[in-house]
Structure 1
């Protein structure tokens, strides 16, 4: 037994709009939710969404009177809306055609002097070969980057900065050791042992 095919969203819109055109009356949402399934086969759960979509597109009018919200649509307005939409689409089509014509003219102009011939084909082949050769040379140069004088000088500068920073901390540690010896009458060997300072600890050169 085959399953019943569902109604598409566009078909629901068409059916509900036809309902309003046929009735040419004013309805509250609850009334449309009752009429939709009965007369047009549109399930009541989807009526609200369909009607709201038609309102957003300007195909269905709505107004609030007191606490009640009413919906209506007349064929004359629907024809006007469709005619306006059609005019907009035709204008867009004309603009796209003009744009296409302009692009085609630009392509034709750009193609002048680029016609395929033996000379141009050979030039393109030579260009591709030169690009490959350049890529190979760039890779070769990259291997020797560490020998670049500028790179070496930058490394030396960084090393000097690091040594100066390390010696500043070394100087601070020596000053603290001297302060501890004076303040607490501690032996230097005791301080070194207590704080894990090796015998070889000294300034860097």
Structure 2
């Protein structure tokens, strides 16, 4: 019997992952038209590539720069692990700040109870602490989601210092490779490309992190 059920389309997150794989597996630089040709092979229709690409740029998972009349896009695998580590560190700092704030409000409430009747001020402080506790619980749930991340990314987080050094050096290699690639592809624009890369941190005195 023939199955007439329709195949479920990819969600936006699935599309983002598919397009990101194109960058990470090829380690190449793309223009929009190139991605619109490659993405359908991954199950992402060409009409949705522009929207997906913009979402990746907004999430800082893909870089975008305009050189001449064209927009170029790229993303290297090492950057994903570094971004994940930074996100976890940011969430951890936010949790610590919220816990400290809750503790301070709790102390004020306990002090206000000494020999005093309930007051509007105390009720307001209690409501504020309860709201912060809700936000803290939600933040902890969000941070816990990272525990289900890819094992390789979790391993990278456990070795944060080595990962950061290695990622920085790979970024330098990739940047030099990108500069060389652009000069070969856009002959006659060497001076403009040199200026562009220097403005974005690839100066003559930059060196590997040791």
- TM-score normalised by length of structure 1: 0.50
- TM-score normalised by length of structure 2: 0.49
Please tell me whether Structure 1 or Structure 2 has the larger radius of gyration of its CA atoms. 1
Higher relative contact order (CA 8 A, sep 6+): 2
